[in-house]
Amino acid sequence: MDPSLSVGLLYEKRFTHYNQGMQHRHEAATRTWSKTLFNDVHFLRVATAIGQGPAETDATVLQADLKLTQPAVRRVIVDLEGVRLLDRLDRVSRTEPQRYRRAEGHPFWAAASALLNAAIEVER
């Protein structure tokens, strides 16, 4: 062991490594649940972000916040729009990002969040 490392620094390195491992396990569990329930590994993360975020959003914001690709976010948006959980908003020009408004008060948003949390809890 390097004598120049303090006890605090050693603890911090171990704790950071532990947190990274837990984060990886949580992400894997979330992907598994999402794939099993919705046939899409990103569905729960995207749906939960929409449900917990502002009432109106667009795919580019979700992509940036979740660090996902455009097709990954778009697939979920199309599915949610298809069952009227998202409504497409009018836009002034085609160069603007397409914006969507979620169906407020629908129990799906709380359910998606609960499922995401349940997937994480199983791995603890």
Is 2 a member of any domain? no
Q: Determine the Cα–Cα distance for residues 63 and 107; give it in Å rounded to an integer.
A: 24
- State the average pLDDT for the chain: 84
Is 13 a member of any domain? yes
Cβ neighbours of residue 88 closer than 8 Å, sequence gap 6 or more: 81, 98, 99, 100
CATH number assigned to the domain comprising residue 11: 1.10.10.10
State the CB neighbour count (10 A cutoff) for residue 87: 13
Q: 121 vs 57, which has greater pLDDT?
A: 57
Domain of residue 113, residue span: 7-122
Is 1 a member of any domain? no
Is 88 a member of any domain? yes
* Segment among 1-10, 22-31, 47-56 with least mean pLDDT: 1-10
pLDDT tier, 124 (very low <50, low <70, confident <90, very high otherwise): low
Summarised one tens digit per residue, pLDDT across range 8-25 is 444 444 444 434 445 667
Name the domain count of the chain.
1
